Copies of this chain bind each other. A is one copy, B any other.
Amino acid sequence: MKPLIVLITDWTYKEGAIMSMKGVMKTIDPTLDITDGTHEIPQYDIWSASYRLHQSMRFWPKGTIFITVVDPGVGTPRKGVAALTRDGYVIICPDNGTLTHIAKDQGIAEVRQLHAHLRLPSTKGTSIFHGRDIFGYVGAKVASGELTFAQLGETFDKNDIVSLPDLTLGNENDLIFGQLEIDDPNFGNVWSNIPIQWLYDAGYTLEDDIRVTIRHKDDVVFDQVLPLRSSFGSVAIGSPVAYVNELMVVAFAICQGSFAKTYQIRYGIDWKVEIKR
């Protein structure tokens, strides 16, 4: 069985880009099994692309090839790379921070800079669609068996992979602190980077209340006592709640509402969260 392919981009389906990319891949091998991971990464949001790999890659069969193209620097000197993770997944992407989470959590076994000659031959005059002309093309060649991982390019030092800045995460006395790492843009939940296990270790249960303080830079934008529960469905419709999300970190929701919109809360390096009794 050939490796499965998963695509992650910020292109949306509003024009023909994905159709073109899949055509290139199916021309190389019409039997390839290509899944849309998502094409709705927020525009240019490399952090989100990196997070979605972290969130979902582990659930796929080992050997699956993830082609991840959130690439505002396309056509500039940033590298195109192929990474092999310690647990055997392949990621083909621009080297722009897309590998941040996976490098830290799963670990990269080997990374290669894609050979310049590996591109769809008919597209030499254009520089702005590496998803179609390089990443998709290369991914299909690997999945079909035409190219091995080792043939994709020269290896380079894993420490030279471009990485986005680390988030804060810690535990001091009675205070557990971390950051808002990502949102669910559909339901309006916000996910922290604090493992629920840290709260269990500190003696909290899913029947307790917790004091949650959220800061944007130095401004407190949320400071409330919230029920800590197993599900957003455990509180009344319209009520805020802290809950255990699908990756076993502490997350914040409003039951059938949007925590992010209601409290004007986003995510990333500028957003800090503290939990105490």
- A-to-B contact residues, CB < 8 Å: 1, 4, 6, 8, 10-24, 26-27, 30-31, 33-40, 43-44, 51-52, 55-61, 64, 72-76, 123, 125-129, 132-133, 182-187, 196, 230-234, 243-248, 255-256
Bound: A59/B40 CA distance, A? 23
Chain B min CB distance to A9 (Å): 10
Which of B26, B31, B126 interacts with A60 by CB under 8 Å? B26
User: Would you call A14 and B127 a contact (CB within 8 A)?
Assistant: no
User: Would you call B59 and A244 a contact (CB within 8 A)?
Assistant: no
Bound: A129/B76 CA distance, A? 40
Bound: A33/B4 CA distance, A? 12
User: Would you call B16 and A56 a contact (CB within 8 A)?
Assistant: yes
Across the two chains, which residue of chain B brings its CB closest to A184?
Answer: B15
Which of B128, B132, B184 interacts with A230 by CB under 8 Å? B128
Bound: A18/B76 CA distance, A? 32
- Residues of chain B contacted by A1 (CB below 8 angstroms): 30-31
Offer 14 A-B interface pairs, CB within 8 angstroms, sorted by A: A4-B26, A6-B19, A13-B36, A14-B38, A15-B52, A15-B182, A27-B60, A36-B36, A43-B186, A43-B187, A127-B244, A128-B232, A128-B233, A128-B243
Across the two chains, which residue of chain B brings its CB closest to A59?
Answer: B23
Across the two chains, which residue of chain B brings its CB closest to A76?
Answer: B233
Ranked 6 nearest A-B pairs via Cβ: A75-B231, A23-B59, A23-B60, A19-B56, A19-B37, A129-B246
Further contacts, 11 of them, CB under 8 A, given A1-B31, A125-B244: A12-B40, A14-B184, A19-B37, A20-B59, A23-B56, A30-B61, A75-B234, A125-B248, A126-B248, A128-B231, A129-B246
